[in-house]
Amino acid sequence: MDTLTQSGPASLTVHIVREPEALDLPLPQYATAGSAGMDLCAAIDGEIIIEAGGRALISTGIRMALPDGFEAQVRPRSGLAVRHGITVLNSPGTIDADYRGVIQVPLINLGQEPVTVRRGDRIAQMIVAPVVKVAWIEAVAPLPATTRSDGGFGHTGVRP
């Protein structure tokens, strides 16, 4: 069996600025050596209660300058989703390389009980990834055929 090997993880240097409300909070960081996403913390005063079915825009208090050719994806944290029904409303949210504003996370409570978000809580995770730019070629003939063809939702079934 072939295995994929890599000499080590790819790395990228990104400039980041903490707003005054986030000076005492950790920068986004990986929880474990194998984590793909970095935890984002709530840079809020006190606490915000998100009622069942409610939503809130939570500031992280950080700005960053991603290099051209990269994006940051903001995704839910699985523990918050499973335990409380909290997820990122526009998941995954995209932070473009040319955005320089404060990163904010729109959370929604899909659970049945109110959830309290407190200062410093890990509210989402962020993954930085390369972006491929597309150059469209409008087809003048039919697209190349595949086994799937135009089979859509549920086309492959739910069982093997």
The whole-chain average pLDDT of the chain stands at 91
Let me know: does 68 contact 156? Beta carbons within 8 Å.
Answer: no
Q: Which of 42-46, 128-132, 142-146, 155-159 has the lowest mean pLDDT?
A: 155-159
Using CA of residue 142, residue 143, residue 147, residue 153, what is the dihedral sign?
negative
For residue 21, give the 3-state DSSP assignment.
helix
Please state the φ and ψ torsions of residue 146, each to the nearest 5 degrees.
-135, 170
Let me know: does 80 contact 13? Beta carbons within 8 Å.
Answer: no
Counted residue by residue, the chain has a size of 160
Percent of the chain with pLDDT over 90: 78
Q: Burial of 29 by CB count in 10 Å (0-12 exposed, 13-18 middle, 19+ buried)? A: exposed
pLDDT value at 23 more than 80: yes
How far apart, in whole angstroms, are the C-alpha atoms of residue 110 and residue 23?
31
Q: Which pLDDT tens digit goes with each residue over 102-154? A: 999 999 999 999 999 999 999 999 999 999 999 998 887 888 888 877 777 77
| Domains of the chain as residue ranges with CATH | 15-129 (2.70.40.10)
User: Could you tell me the pLDDT band of residue 5, with boundaries at 50, 70 and 90?
Assistant: low
Whole-prediction pTM value? 0.85
